[in-house]
């Protein structure tokens, strides 16, 4: 992949957690680039390492039991892993912001939402308390919260789930970051509110020129929002391509399985209920403490052969700007 214009570059990232049976790698040798203004989606099942990757970028992995054991995370000319904690605090929420999965656990229940946004502005921008609150209210307006002055005085529990998520977006955007990390930003919201939140993120991305790292398990969200896609499985990156390339020419059997789980409206509309049903990926994700010797997807893979059980495939170029880690990539691509 072209790294010349990368705004954020993650290289060979390895994040481990200490357990009673020894350290296990939740993120294992993961690399990707995020370019200015683009939306990069990281997709995969729960437990594949998506959120740990996001937390690693901002050095928010709790230590102990977790630690970043290897790799680099370059933002511009700086390696974030080499910064002091004070220097890193100046990056978080200011140059790189994050929207977390569950706003009710991310917002402080003891303070009004306006105060929480204003504190971030005062900390990073050096604004007075009065100016910071005015800017907090303006930010709430920007994310389409009605009656922003009154809502700024509300506590998190007084707001709906969708409104709290808008507050989280407002807080993340308050300092006009260059990079926004959105970790499952529509979790636990109904479908209508999900669409509104994703539209809001896109609108603010265009207005501020941000790069967005969107973490999700929903391939429909990927199709609607991504420029490029990284597919993760059991802690590793197994495929990366542009969104059109990935959907039209999936070359990893896991990606093919994820796409096969999407319902087809055309089939349903024509009365073919059998085709309209979801297709499951058989088997279970392996335990991080007991990984297969070869390809981690091999026990669930319909294309697996003997060498898949013995050797882990390297991540190599399959087509132009298309990387895949699979011994049978050509066969998978033809089958898709």
- 296 lies in the same domain as 206: no
- 320 lies in the same domain as 275: yes
pTM: 0.89
- 88 lies in the same domain as 123: yes
Q: Write down the pLDDT at residue 264.
A: 58
Q: Write down the pLDDT at residue 136.
A: 94
201-236 as b/e: b if 16+ CB within 10 A: beebbeeeebbbbbbbbbbebbbebbbbbbbbbbbb
Q: Is 160 helix (H, G, I), strand (E, B) or coil?
A: coil
- Give the strand pairing for 24-34 and 8-17: antiparallel
The model's pLDDT over 166-191, given as tens digits with 9 standing for 90+, comes to 898 899 988 899 999 999 888 767 88
Q: How far apart are alpha carbons 31 and 169 in whole angstroms?
A: 26
The model's pLDDT over 86-114, given as tens digits with 9 standing for 90+, comes to 999 999 989 999 998 776 778 899 999 99
Which CATH number covers residue 140?
Answer: 3.40.50.300
Q: How far apart are alpha carbons 336 and 334 in whole angstroms?
A: 5
The model's pLDDT over 1-35, given as tens digits with 9 standing for 90+, comes to 444 489 999 999 999 999 988 899 999 999 999 99
- 138 lies in the same domain as 220: yes
In this structure, is residue 158 part of a structural domain?
A: yes
- 190 lies in the same domain as 316: no
Q: Which two tokens stand for residue 103?
A: 């706003």
- Give the strand pairing for 228-233 and 322-324: unpaired
- 16 lies in the same domain as 135: yes
Those residues whose C-beta lies under 8 Å from the C-beta of residue 144, and which sit 6 or more positions away, are: 166, 200
Count structural domains, the chain: 2
In this structure, is residue 3 part of a structural domain?
A: no
What is the separation of C-alpha 199 from the centre of its chain, rounded to a whole number of angstroms? 16
- 72 lies in the same domain as 202: yes
Boundary residue ending a domain (226, 245, 269): 226
- 167 lies in the same domain as 260: no
Instruction: Write out the residue range of the structural domain in which residue 156 sits.
Output: 8-226
Boundary residue ending a domain (174, 199, 226): 226
- 266 lies in the same domain as 215: no
- Distance set, CA 328 to CA 37, 166, 302, 305 (Å): 34, 43, 11, 9
Query: Residue 286 above 80 pLDDT?
Result: yes
Instruction: Tell me what the mean pLDDT of segment 247-256 comes to.
Output: 95
Q: Write down the pLDDT at residue 268.
A: 44
Average pLDDT for the chain: 89
- 220 lies in the same domain as 246: no
């Amino acid at each position: 992949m072209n790294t010349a214009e990368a705004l954020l570059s993650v290289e060979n990232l390895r994040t481990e957690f200490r357990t009673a049976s020894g350290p296990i790698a939740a993120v294992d040798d993961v690399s990707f680039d995020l370019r200015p203004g683009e939306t990069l989606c990281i997709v995969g099942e729960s437990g594949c390492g998506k959120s740990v990757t996001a937390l690693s970028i901002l050095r928010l992995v709790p230590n102990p039991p977790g630690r970043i054991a290897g790799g680099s995370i370059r933002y511009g000319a700086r390696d974030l892993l080499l910064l002091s904690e004070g220097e890193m605090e100046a990056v978080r929420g200011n140059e790189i912001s994050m929207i977390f999965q569950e706003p009710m656990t991310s917002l402080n229940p003891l303070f009004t939402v306006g105060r929480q946004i204003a504190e971030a502005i005062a900390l990073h921008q050096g604004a007075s308390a009065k100016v910071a609150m005015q800017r907090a209210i303006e930010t709430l307006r920007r994310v389409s919260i009605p009656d922003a002055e009154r809502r700024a005085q509300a506590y998190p529990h007084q707001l709906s789930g969708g409104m709290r998520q808008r507050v989280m977006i407002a807080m993340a955007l308050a300092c006009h970051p260059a990079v926004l990390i959105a970790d499952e930003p529509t979790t636990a919201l109904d479908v209508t509110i999900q669409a509104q939140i994703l539209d809001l993120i896109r609108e603010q991305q265009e207005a501020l020129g941000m790069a967005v790292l969107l973490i999700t398990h929903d391939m429909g969200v990927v199709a609607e929002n991504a420029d490029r896609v990284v597919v993760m499985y059991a802690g590793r990156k197994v495929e990366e391509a542009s969104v059109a390339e990935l959907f039209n020419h999936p070359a990893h059997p896991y990606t093919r399985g994820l796409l096969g789980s999407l319902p087809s409206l055309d089939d349903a509309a024509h009365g073919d209920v059998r085709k309209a049903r979801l297709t499951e990926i058989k088997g279970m994700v392996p335990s991080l403490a007991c990984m297969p010797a070869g390809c981690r997807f091999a026990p669930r893979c319909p294309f697996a052969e003997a060498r898949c059980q013995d050797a882990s495939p390297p991540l190599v170029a399959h087509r132009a700007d298309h990387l895949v880690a699979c011994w049978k990539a050509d066969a998978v691509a033809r089958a898709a």
